[in-house]
Amino acid sequence: MSIVELAELVKVLENKFGVSAAAPVAVAQAGSAAPIEEKTSFNIELKEVGAQKIEVIKVVRDVTAKGLKESKDLVDAAAAGPQMVKEGVKKDEAEAIKKKFETAGAKVEIK
C-alpha cells in the first residue's frame, strides 16, 4: 500500500467507527494535587572549614569513621569547594552532625 492509500484507509475507518486517529491528549486534573512527601534521607555537605581545621578533621573522623589521612584530605578538599561528608542519614542524625561541625567552627549544609 502506498501512503495515499493508507491515508484513505484511515479516513474510512475513522468515519465507519466514529473514532479519531489523532494521538490522545492527557488532561491534568486541576483540583487533585499529589501530597508532598517529606524527605527522610539527607546528605551532609562540608561548605567551609573555618579556623579550627584540626577540630573539623576530628569531627570528620568521628562522623565518617575514616582514617586520619582520608579525613584530612576531605577537609583540605573542602577549602577548594563543597565536599560530601555523609550521605543517606536521617533528619535527627543530620542535625546532630551539623551541630558537631558548627561547634568545631565549620559550615555545613544539609541537603
- Domain ranges for the chain: 42-110
* Predicted confidence (pLDDT) at residue 19 exceeds the cutoff of 80: no
pTM tops 0.75: no
| Residue 111 confidence class, pLDDT cut points 50, 70, 90 | confident
Q: Which three cell numbers stand for residue 14?
A: 475513522
Length in residues, the chain: 111
* Predicted confidence (pLDDT) at residue 6 exceeds the cutoff of 90: no
Q: Which three cell numbers stand for residue 51?
A: 579556623
Q: Which CATH architecture has domain 42-110?
A: 2-Layer Sandwich (3.30)
What's the gap between Cα 68 and its chain centre? Answer: 29
Cα–Cα distance between 74 and 78 in angstroms, integer? 6
